[in-house]
Amino acid sequence: MTDPILKVQNVSKRFGGVEALGDVSLEVKRGSITGLIGPNGSGKSTLFNVITGFYKPDSGSVYFEGKRIDGLNPNEIYNMGIARTFQIPRLFGSLTILENMMLSPKGQKGESLLKAPFKKVWLEEELQIATEVKHLLKEFGMDGLYNLPASDLSGGHIKMVETSKGILGRAKLILLDEPTAGVHYAIGRNLFEYISYLRRTRGLTFFIIEHKIELLFDYVDYVYVLHMGRVLSQGTPEEVASDPKVIEAYIGGA
């Protein structure tokens, strides 16, 4: 668990006259759960958008498994093995849980214009994906709900489904943007238990933005703190929690 799966080197991003990120450098170790915290507007989601190709950095570079990715589009980065969730869930409410999750695997034969008309070509693969989805749902206690419309899910279940979609996409690194936002504290802890379980059983790496710091610190190995677009502090949860600069950034209201 010592080699970095993700490296961000001297990344800067401006929007007009506003510096959203300034010379940000950080690493996420393979197999780790790494946290990213900071006051509102500190650049956390902007950094995730740069890593996943939604924004291009003005300067600096991003590497995934040793390969530079900051010039790639989001689909190419996803295909390399980086998945992410957003602050606002992005499920299709009119589709069932099963149908939503079956959209995640990459390169499905049924998505090809040449192969789609020939059901025999893609039916077996689709049945295999459906079986895998049902097994995943059973792992986190949602078996029997796969035919439920996504619009009927609770907030906690939606977050679990979104996290699991990365597994179906064969992600190696999953970026979670405020996974416990809008859910009860106890449900948030269940979600973090599930994240820890996925790290332990599947060897996944997680990079997590979270405002419930006391909850995050119970599960992460390492934490970065962004403030005004720059890395203010980094270290273990204990080191970061006792850093006077971090305390000032939060309590000082800057």
Average pLDDT over residues 100-112: 67
Do the domain assignments include residue 38?
yes
| Alpha helical stretches, state H, 38-184 | 44-51, 74-80, 97-101, 119-139, 155-168
The predicted model gives 27-36 an average pLDDT of 98
* Range of lowest pLDDT (6-10, 86-90, 170-174, 237-241): 86-90
Is there a single domain that holds both residue 182 and residue 73?
A: yes
68 and 97 housed in the same domain: no
Give a yes or no: residue 82 inside a domain: yes
| CATH assignment of the domain containing 245 | 3.40.50.300
The one-character DSSP state at 105 is S
- Please give the DSSP secondary-structure letter assigned to residue 136: H
> 139 is in which domain, residue-wise?
92-152
The span from the CA of 71 to the CA of 174, in Å, is 19
Tokens of 137: 């749902």
Is there a single domain that holds both residue 74 and residue 114?
Answer: no
pLDDT in tens, 183-198: 888 889 988 998 999 9
User: pTM score, two decimals?
Assistant: 0.84
157 in any annotated domain: no
The residue to which tokens 């939503």 are assigned = 100
Tell whether 85 and 180 lie within a shared domain.
Answer: yes
- Mean predicted lDDT score pLDDT of the chain: 86
Which among 15, 28, 9, 16 is positioned nearest to 207, based on CA atoms? 28
**Burial status of residue 9 (CB atoms within 10 A of its CB: 0-12, 13-18, 19 or more):** middle
Q: How far apart are CA 73 and CA 50, in angstroms?
A: 10
Q: Is residue 159 part of a domain?
A: no
Q: In 3-state terms, what secondary structure has residue 4?
A: strand
Which tokens is 96 given? 């069932």
pLDDT tens, residue by residue, 184-238: 888 899 889 989 999 999 999 999 999 999 999 999 999 999 999 999 999 999 9
Q: Is the pLDDT of residue 1 over 50?
A: no
Half-sphere exposure of 220 (CA within 13 A, CB side): 29
| 134 inside domain | yes
- 54: burial class by Cβ within 10 Å (0-12, 13-18, 19+)? middle
| In the predicted structure, residue 32 carries a pLDDT above the cut 80 | yes
Look at residue 161 and tell me if it is in a domain.
no
d(CA 195, CA 167): 11
Q: Residue 228 falls within a domain, yes or no?
A: yes
Give the tens place of pLDDT for each residue, 46-71.
999 999 999 999 999 999 999 999 98
- Which pLDDT band, with edges at 50, 70 and 90, does 113 fall under? low
pLDDT (tens digit per residue) in 158-179: 777 777 777 877 899 999 999 9
Total domains present in the chain = 2
pLDDT at 101: 80
Is residue 60 assigned to a domain?
Answer: yes
- Residue the block writes with tokens 């602050």: 87
Binning pLDDT at 50, 70 and 90, where does residue 114 land? low
List the strands of the sheet with 82-84, edge to edge.
82-84, 173-177, 205-209, 33-37, 222-227, 230-235
Contact of 243 with 37, CB cutoff 8 Å? no
Q: What span, in angstroms and rounded, lies between the C-alpha atoms of 155 and 175?
A: 18
Local confidence band at 254 (pLDDT 50, 70, 90 cut-offs) = very low
Are 141 and 193 contained in the same domain? no
Where does a domain end: 108, 124, 152? 152
